[in-house]
Amino acid sequence: MILSETGRGKIYAGNSRLASSLIVSETGAMELTISSGTFTSTGDVAAGIPAVTYYLNEPAICPIFNDTDSEKCYQAQLITSQWGTEIAWSSSYPTQPDIPPLPAGYEAVHFIVFPFTVPPLTQSVRDIAIYVLTVLPNFPEGIDGESWDGRQIQLIGTQP
């Protein structure tokens, strides 16, 4: 099941340029799809770092394979290089490092699907909690620009 909660993927843009139109869907019993769309980083005006918009031009199909002997961990990152922006869909066994290294020339932008574990012999991910990035505009209810401390933006990259 696709989920997004504060501290686990759901963040508020506040008064920053942070935005994402990428949507993660279950498109099969053992498959996720990340829609084409954009992700705009916050930038840092004080440090002279501009916000950057990354374009994912094609949907990314993310297969989940049934392992008969061991649980397997999956995750998806938005990555960029001189050739463009794409999704790095990766899997690993619990005894391996959490995040496999990216190929040379690529840079991680942000997690889109946070790491999740699939037990052996799984036939469907429908009942597995899969946390994904969701960027909401503005501020959380009851908080305005003057009381905003940016904590929600700092949650970017927080893993469940």
Domain that holds residue 96: 2-154
Residue 149 lies in a domain: yes
At 50, the pLDDT band (50, 70, 90 cuts) reads confident
The candidate with the shortest Cα–Cα distance to 112, out of 20, 17, 50, 31, is 20
Residue 23 confidence class, pLDDT cut points 50, 70, 90: very high
pLDDT of the residue at 13 = 87
Identify each DSSP E strand in the chain by its residue range: 2-3, 5-6, 9-12, 19-20, 24-28, 31-34, 37-40, 53-56, 60-63, 72-81, 84-92, 107-118, 130-131, 134-136
Residue 136 falls inside a structural domain? yes
User: At residue 154, does pLDDT exceed 60?
Assistant: no
147 occurs within a structural domain: yes
Of 10-19, 51-60, 149-158, least confident by mean pLDDT is 149-158
Q: Report how far Cα 45 is from the mean position of its chain's Cα atoms.
A: 24
CATH number at residue 20: 2.60.40.2980
Residue 159 lies in a domain: no
Spatial CB neighbours of 4, under 8 Å, sequence gap ≥ 6? 10, 131, 132, 133, 134
Rounded-to-integer distance, Cα 144 and Cα 47, Å? 24
Integer Cα distance of 46 and 85 in angstroms: 26
Q: Is residue 107 part of a domain?
A: yes
User: Tell me, what's the pLDDT at 97?
Assistant: 63
**Residue 83: other Cβ atoms inside 10 A:** 8
